[in-house]
Structure 1
Amino acid sequence: MSGGFGSKYLDGGSNLLKSSADLGWTSVLTAEMYRHVTLECSDFLQPVTEVVVNIAGTAYFRRRAAGTEQRFVSHTGSASICPQGVAVRYLHLNSGPVDLLHIYMPQDLFGTLRQREESTMNPSFEYIGGLHDPLIQGIGFAVAEELARRDSQEATSRLMLDSLAVGLAARLLQRYRIDDRKNFTESYFDANSGRGLDRARLKRVLEYIQHNLDRDISLDDLANAACLSVFHFSRSFKVATGASPIRYISDLRIKRAQSLLIDKDVSISEIAMQSGFTSAANLARSFRKTVGVSPSEYRLQRTCR
């Protein structure tokens, strides 16, 4: 395995444990899990916004960008943010081992951020470490869990990963952005105003969902159908429909499964595939959670009437 945006960690002496690149993720985010014992990184310009979540272990950090040196202890669950455009002078870690999840956020995910008209990149978020943010922690653990599926036959849902990415982007925008509103386009405030999607965009998106319900739909696919950024689309879709994209699509898939279960000649595995679930087990979990009974029990109830 070779590091992507985290190649500086390999150069600094850390070990890459897992990478989303090796799992074929097509989500808007990418992630890597590194085991750090000691780390010595010299100056670098951060290419993308990076969120680091401690999955296991404890380590001591010293790092510095434009301000004073930051010193903090990283415990399980704590997080750090290194925004795109930050010129880091040095990054030192010692007293490991510690397993850190590194999540890389593409700039176009935010969609609402506009690059300043200067010759170099400028950060839009705080450069901050040693955070204790329950939401970032929860998202980080969820991404790490999906990353751990490398030996599993169960595919990771693009839509679920994209939803985690949007949730993380929303948290950064809500709590850690630099408060300089001239750096945000009008689309961000339109999304907050409650206008939602216009009828033409919503129609295109709903038609795309219906035609591709049996496929692995991503937020990027839906945003492209609406001709919006992923972040703007996700917020606007919920205003327009009352549900998040992942909840809306999940409900449609359950409804399709319910209609197919009436036919006793169609196997539950086939129904799972036609409904967009990666396996019969995934269908069973989602079905029981939504309907209250298993697909087999539902079929028996319907066919005995």
Structure 2
Amino acid sequence: MSQPSNWPLPAGSSRVVLPLELTEHLAQHPLSRHLYPLAYGHYLAARGHGVERHQHTDNLLIFCHRGRGHYRVESEFGSHSGSLTAGQLLLLPAGLAHAYRADSSSPWSIYWTHFRGTIAPSCMDILGLQPPHFVLTLQNWRSLLPSVTDLLNLQHQRWQRHRAVRAATLLQNLIAQLPDLASHAQHPQDFDLLALERFMQDNSHRHLDLADIADVAGLSRFHFAKKFKAITGTSPMRYFNELKIKLACQQLDSSTDSIRTIAQGLGFDDPYYFSRLFKKVMGIAPSSYRDSHQQHI
């Protein structure tokens, strides 16, 4: 692994490097092999902290919660430099040469982890990043502190395999929360998503195309589709169709209306197309959905 820095630890700081036997176990265990820590820690007011790596064999997250630091990353897009301030997270993927250091006048305080796993190469995509952008700005990041504290507290216990797996699941949980905390900060909205959802709900009985929805948002179709996917993770039309299928499920649950009637009420002139779309979203046909639900009432 890319060794953590040998920055001398002052009081209140911590650094944990998992033994090789445990990381090999984590690489095979079904609960941890997807993503697991190699090392992690917390550096307070890390004056003089800095690292330069020409070879980087794992992935590194650095979250700054106080002060300031600076970084440089070498990618296929060239050399990219920037600063990291309180509330920001830096992801340095495996394979990219890099350097980082605490600011000399306002040194950062950071949580950090080196990690690997089968999904580790996908973390840039998971967090909505792409070179040359390696930084997330998080909102309400303090909601992560209980899990961070649990992870750090494991160092005070004797390392055993089950505790290493626990550390991996805590890290997985932390990373899973990051897109929600970063979404609004990373993708400032050019439209009111809640208002747009209400428009879709109010017009669920109609056939709308992308131009209709983009017009409500006041954007061109291309710009709207791009912004909408950045915020929600899906396309506007798929979002609208999935909303319709959700409403169809409610009607199948609560009424005796025919599938054709439900489809027409949701703007689908072709009930066969509606059934195919329903099965694509829900995994079963509308008739099977209704039968399976009624059996459990």
TM over 0.5: no
User: TM-score with structure 2 length normalisation?
Assistant: 0.40
Q: Flag the structure with larger Rg.
A: 2
User: TM-score with structure 1 length normalisation?
Assistant: 0.39
